[in-house]
Amino acid sequence: MKSLRIGTLRPAKGATHPRKRRGLGPASGTGGTAGKGHKGQLARSGGKVHRWFEGGQMPLTRRLPKIGFTPIHRVEFQIVNIASLGAFEKGATVDRAALHAKKLVDRKNRPVKILGMGDLSVALTVQVDAVSESAKAKIEAAGGSVTLPTPKEYRPRHVKKARA
């Protein structure tokens, strides 16, 4: 009996089938049309049918009704609850960068909103994009302060920009 080594491993007899080499004449077993049938889209070079094609039937994406609405100017806030702010030391400044460093928010460049779930016992200086009324009351009751950015002033379309 031969020794069994990694270089001597072979599939069992009859377990594999030789691949068809298309377009190599009658001897290959797929001569003439190379296994693609006669004419039609699939016989042409570059001819494909997309996975979602349903044979000319009205496609599923068009059969189903359109639902919902996404407001284009919606601001998606990253939410942080008051209870999570206990991770900061007394007198610390809580802003996006500090929250990101403590892994309380995922992204530094998205706006953050503080919500009032939980309690706060340390005085903090909070500088984020939005704070709920209950969260603001709890932060100020603990001796901290809340600073929000000044809201953007939008210029009506018919008013020209001020020259600098």
Question: Is the model's pLDDT at 146 over the cut of 90?
Answer: yes
CATH T-level fold of 78-147: Ribosomal Protein L15; Chain: K; domain 2 (3.100.10)
The answer to whether 78 and 110 have CB atoms below 8 angstroms apart is: yes
pTM, rounded to two decimals: 0.57
The answer to whether 140 and 134 have CB atoms below 8 angstroms apart is: no
- 36-71 pLDDT, tens digit per residue, is 889 988 899 898 888 989 999 999 999 999 999 999
The answer to whether 113 and 134 have CB atoms below 8 angstroms apart is: no
The mean pLDDT of the chain is 91
Q: What ranges do the domains of the chain cover?
A: 78-147
- 103-135 pLDDT, tens digit per residue, is 999 999 999 999 999 999 999 999 999 999 999
Question: Is the model's pLDDT at 35 over the cut of 90?
Answer: no
